[in-house]
Amino acid sequence: MRLGPAWCWRKRGVRADKQEAELSEAPAVLDMLPLKGRLVTNDALYCQREWCERVLARGGDYLVIVKKNQPRLYQDIKLLFDEPPIGEAFAVAEQIDRHGDRREVRRIWVSSALSEYLDWPGSRQVCKVERQTERKGKLTRQVRYSMTSLDARTSAGQLLGHVRGHWGIENRLHYVRDVTFGEDASQIRTGSAPQVMAALRNVVLSLLRGAGVNNVAAALRQNGWQRCASLKLLGLAV
């Protein structure tokens, strides 16, 4: 089974009024997207029955991170992988990457054993994902659990690719906006100013990525030091 491109997003540049919380705004955004044959990857915030039902009703599939905000669901999935039933064989996949002095190993274990047990719309497979990172002799380990409406025709390797793609968006886009651009710390919160600033950050990030920039922080410093660099980025100087 071949899926179209996946959708993954996080709320940015929207009003901060309590009545317009992320979960209440997200369905309107979802309804604007063509979901048929596509996979929607979600953070744990979107591990909500109504959300998953909405994705399925639009002809899409979901892959959602499961954390303790859904305690029963989290415990059921964790228990399966911690104490698997006798004879249970998990599908497994692994990816190894090296970036400079950092070595990263990602592993996934996948099971459809809970597909008939979990009281959750469209649940077909559950996953345990482990990411180990070693850098300068320091080893860090992160374990996450997830659930998907994709059935066993989607292999463990494909699911690991989808999870990695979700993390890639977090690292490549949201981390840059949060840390490099300081978006979460911004005090601009009134009127249309948050939307305007979010749009400007998008423009800057798109220009830098389009120019082949990998280190956005370094590129911002360079453009701050060299006036012509900014003009060149905008196509206004040779």
User: What pLDDT, on a 0 to 100 scale, did the predictor assign at position 18?
Assistant: 39
User: What pLDDT, on a 0 to 100 scale, did the predictor assign at position 184?
Assistant: 67
Boundaries of every domain in the chain: 18-185
* Type and span of the H or E element at 194: helix 193-210
Classify strands 91-99 and 39-42 as parallel, antiparallel or unpaired.
Answer: unpaired
How far, in Å, CA of 93 to CA of 174, rounded?
Answer: 26
What pTM did the predictor assign? 0.68
Show pLDDT as tens, one digit a residue, over the chain (238 residues): 334 444 444 444 444 443 345 677 778 878 888 889 899 988 888 899 999 999 999 999 999 999 999 999 999 999 999 999 999 999 999 999 887 778 889 999 999 999 999 999 999 999 999 999 898 888 999 999 999 999 999 999 999 988 887 665 555 555 666 667 777 677 777 878 877 887 777 777 777 777 777 777 777 787 777 777 777 777 776 5
Residues paired with 94 in a beta bridge:
107
User: What pLDDT, on a 0 to 100 scale, did the predictor assign at position 57?
Assistant: 93
**Strand order from edge to edge, sheet including 39-42:** 39-42, 61-66, 138-148, 125-135, 102-111, 91-99
Nearest-CA neighbor of 77 among 150, 42, 127, 124?
127
